[in-house]
């Protein structure tokens, strides 16, 4: 059965109004997000779907011009068909999302109940691309939708009977696989189980994925940890190439550094025109690079709201400039007490922006602060600040391979890196 899924515009608008308040919503209503997770599980699990990676993101009519422009530019149909190459470009060109544009008549669409009885021709009748429903990796918007009373609205392209409201979330999750590479989310301490990645997915990552990664010592925790995992189990093949793409077969490959250096400060990646031009050279001359990221080091504690805004704005601009590359946003370390309250605020600024705008975020601070089910924090200047968990504290300032962390911490960061890429590539179960 073909099914075209959409969220009722007014409901989406209401949900977005709730969703796009990072201070009031994302920052404080943790309980609501937790409850939304349980609600999603309750609706989805009884049908046998694996929970833990599902969510919804709705797009309103305001998105229609951008969708229509991309459809026209790429010359593709309303839904993926035989033009897989063009469709893949389309997916990557719109915030790394897999879109299912829906067409409707120019007049206001019928309510969902009426749409369910409509025939194929009526459902496909002219008009502009409207909304699309995406099974995402973020529970945050699920919470927003549920808090707005949205359980999902569906229309059938062939007039077949569709599930009742109580099953709408399950029906939508079944229509678009939770492992869809469109899935966008924050990757943190809850994403460190390598057992979730099947061998076929590991093989795919090692055969097809190349990452560009700019970092210094703190950022090397990921690469040192990945090498440690590789040394313990060869199936996690991993190789870095300093200032170039490594040639090692059977390995997840990472270009570590830029063209002329492997110690990448902000100015050498995003915070200067020279750095940006060097990054442009790398990405333009190496179209096989699928992902690019830059890691904060100690300087996160001394940033201002304005400088973080510059980082976020520049990363967003790079996404527009290189639609075939997925840019990974990152929070900074939780290692130091220096300027702890400001460091917490700046990391939360990055986190809130990423969650409110559908960006992919590797949450380094969260991974630092959590060990298993325990989160470590200190009161600094009257503010509760997440801190590097004692389990991860290096016995000296250099740490494992000069990464300022223990070997176990580095391996934990690497596990999250593997899970993130497996999820984004759509090969997680």
List all residues 6 or more positions away from 84 whose beta carbon is below 8 Å from its beta carbon: none
In a domain, 18, yes or no: yes
Let me know: does 149 contact 188? Beta carbons within 8 Å: no
Number of structural domains found in the chain: 2
Domain check: are 197 and 161 in the same one? no
In a domain, 429, yes or no: no
- The pLDDT of residue 217 is 87
In a domain, 180, yes or no: no
In a domain, 266, yes or no: yes
Domain check: are 113 and 158 in the same one? yes
Domain check: are 163 and 42 in the same one? yes
Cα angle: 294, vertex 300, 305; to 5 degrees: 105
Domain check: are 108 and 209 in the same one? no
Domain check: are 95 and 221 in the same one? no
Instruction: Enter the DSSP assignment of 400.
Output: G
Domain check: are 203 and 164 in the same one? no
Write out the H or E segment, with its range, that includes residue 35: helix 30-44
Which among 143, 175, 207 is the end of a domain? 175
If DSSP codes are grouped into helix, strand and coil, which group holds residue 376? Answer: coil
Cα(410)–Cα(221) distance, rounded to whole angstroms?
A: 5
Let me know: does 67 contact 99? Beta carbons within 8 Å: yes
- The pLDDT of residue 308 is 97
Residue 241: name the closest of 221, 222, 267, 213 by CA: 213
Where residue 417 sits, what CATH number does that domain have?
3.40.50.1110
Q: Is 215 exposed, middle or buried (0-12, 13-18, 19+ CB in 10 A)?
A: buried
Residue 191: name the closest of 366, 405, 57, 321 by CA: 366
- The pLDDT of residue 72 is 52
Going residue by residue through the chain, which has 429 residues, state the pLDDT in tens, using 9 for 90 and above: 222 223 323 333 333 333 333 333 333 333 444 444 444 434 333 233 333 333 333 334 454 555 455 445 444 333 333 333 333 333 333 333 332 222 222 233 333 333 223 322 222 233 322 222 332 323 333 333 333 333 333 323 333 333 333 333 333 333 333 333 333 589 999 999 999 999 999 999 999 999 999 999 898 999 999 999 999 999 999 999 988 999 999 999 999 999 988 899 999 999 999 999 999 999 999 999 999 999 999 899 999 999 999 999 999 999 999 999 999 999 999 988 999 999 999 999 999 999 889 899 999 999 999 999 999 999 998 999 999 999 998 777 677 887 788 999 999 999 999 999 999 998 887
In a domain, 95, yes or no: yes
Q: pTM higher than 0.85 for the full model? A: no
- The pLDDT of residue 400 is 81
- The pLDDT of residue 66 is 54
If DSSP codes are grouped into helix, strand and coil, which group holds residue 360? Answer: strand
- The pLDDT of residue 69 is 55
Domain check: are 159 and 208 in the same one? no
Which among 152, 175, 198 is the end of a domain? 175
Domain check: are 235 and 338 in the same one? yes
In a domain, 202, yes or no: yes
The residue range of the domain holding 7 is 3-175
Residue 58: name the closest of 110, 124, 5, 3 by CA: 5
Domain check: are 104 and 209 in the same one? no
In a domain, 181, yes or no: no
In a domain, 31, yes or no: yes
Which among 146, 175, 204 is the end of a domain? 175
Domain check: are 251 and 153 in the same one? no
Cα(283)–Cα(296) distance, rounded to whole angstroms?
A: 20
Domain check: are 207 and 160 in the same one? no
Domain check: are 21 and 130 in the same one? yes
């Amino acid at each position: 059965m073909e099914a075209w899924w959409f969220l009722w515009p007014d409901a989406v608008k209401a949900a977005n109004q709730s969703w796009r308040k990072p201070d009031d919503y994302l920052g404080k209503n943790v309980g609501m997000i937790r409850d939304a997770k349980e609600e999603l599980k309750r609706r989805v699990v009884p049908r046998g779907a694996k929970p833990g990676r599902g969510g919804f993101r709705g797009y309103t009519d305001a998105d229609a011009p951008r969708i229509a422009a991309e459809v026209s530019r790429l010359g593709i149909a309303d839904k993926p068909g035989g033009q897989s190459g063009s469709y893949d470009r389309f997916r990557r060109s719109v915030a790394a999302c897999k879109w299912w544009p829906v067409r409707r008549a120019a007049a206001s669409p019928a309510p969902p109940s009426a749409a369910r009885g409509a025939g194929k021709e009526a459902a496909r009748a002219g008009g502009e691309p409207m909304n699309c429903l995406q099974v995402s990796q973020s529970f945050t918007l699920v919470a927003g939708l549920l808090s707005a009373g949205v359980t999902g609205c569906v229309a059938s392209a062939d007039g077949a009977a569709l599930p009742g409201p109580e099953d709408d979330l399950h029906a939508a999750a079944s229509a678009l696989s939770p492992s869809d590479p469109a899935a966008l989310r924050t990757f943190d301490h809850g994403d460190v189980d390598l057992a979730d990645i099947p061998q076929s997915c590991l093989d795919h990552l090692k055969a097809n994925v190349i990452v560009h990664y700019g970092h210094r010592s703190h950022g090397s925790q990921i690469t040192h940890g990945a090498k440690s995992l590789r040394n313990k189990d060869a199936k996690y093949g991993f190789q870095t190439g300093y200032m170039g793409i490594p040639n090692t077969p059977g390995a997840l490959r990472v270009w570590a550094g830029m063209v002329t250096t492997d110690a990448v400060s902000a100015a050498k990646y995003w915070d200067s025109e020279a750095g940006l031009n060097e990054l442009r050279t790398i990405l333009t001359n190496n179209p096989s690079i699928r992902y690019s990221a830059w890691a904060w080091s100690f300087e996160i504690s001394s940033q201002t709201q304005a400088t973080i805004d510059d980082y976020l704005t520049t990363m967003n601009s790079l996404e527009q400039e290189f639609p075939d590359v997925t840019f990974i946003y990152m929070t900074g370390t939780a290692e130091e007490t220096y300027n702890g309250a400001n460091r917490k605020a700046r990391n939360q600024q990055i986190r809130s922006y990423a969650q409110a705008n559908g960006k992919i975020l590797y949450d380094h601070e969260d991974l630092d602060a959590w060990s298993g089910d325990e989160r470590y924090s200190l009161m600094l200047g009257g503010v509760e600040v997440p801190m590097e968990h004692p389990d991860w504290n290096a016995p000296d300032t250099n740490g494992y391979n000069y990464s300022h962390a223990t070997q176990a911490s580095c391996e934990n960061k690497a596990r999250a890196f593997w899970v993130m890429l497996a999820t984004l590539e759509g090969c997680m179960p």
